[in-house]
Amino acid sequence: MASISITTTQNVTIDYTLSGFSPRLFAFIIDWLIIIAWVLIHSFIGYSVFNDSDTSAIYIWVFVIPFFSFYTLLMEYFLNGQTPGKRSMGIRVIMINGKEPTFLDYFIRWSLRFVEIYLSSGVLASVMISTTDKKQRIADIIAGTVLVKVQIIQSILADDLIKIGGNGNYEPLYPEVILFKEEEMLVLKKLVDRFYLYRNSAHINLVQETAMQIAGKMGVKIKEEKPEQFLKAIIRDFVVLTR
């Protein structure tokens, strides 16, 4: 399967599997079923509950039209590159340059949907996805985005897994870790691995700074004696709380 290597802003490279056409198609269908259900339910409410036609029209314009028009844009923006359909299919929009997508990036992808999907009955989008190296629509090429399969943290320090597996009553030390995303934990895991592989001053300082930033974001005090131990605990707790 096609893959892509993304270098994050922390100079950590993560390998992703690119999403093919089928997962995107099924995600599209799921999202459209959600949209149709929303439109039917609220259209029924608007025209059956309110006797006044003006009030019904206002209800439709407030609760139906915006949801129908901006569903994909808003879902991807607020759900971190996913819609309910994409989430159910395990795919997500990310930036090729490793940065976090901005509203403008999502807007570019959304704004060209009319031409690539609706106006061409999906032919243009399917041809682009099937023929480009990174399986991108025209909008993806312009925005610098790709759709990838969501990665699962599978490689965790062996001794941590042994401890977790051997203790069914394990209580996470830092439940606040759920504030972070899976990709951030992947970056953190690679940082810890590199620290133990290259114990130089640069990695020591980076581990210390990272530990302080994470503790500050979670609003907790570091309980471990060493920052790398704290980071390992964070990764372990994330695995326990999310698997």
More confident residue, 189 or 144: 144
* Of 148, 139, 147, residue with least CA distance to 108: 139
With tokens 């810890």, the residue in question is 192
**Nearest-angstrom CA–CA distance, 15 and 144:** 17
Q: What is the pLDDT of residues 217-231, one digit of tens each?
A: 899 999 888 999 999
pLDDT of 96 above 90: yes
| Residues 129-159: tens digit of each pLDDT | 999 999 999 999 999 999 999 865 555 544 5
Nearest CA-CA partner of 76 in 87, 60, 62: 87
What pLDDT is attached to residue 70? 96
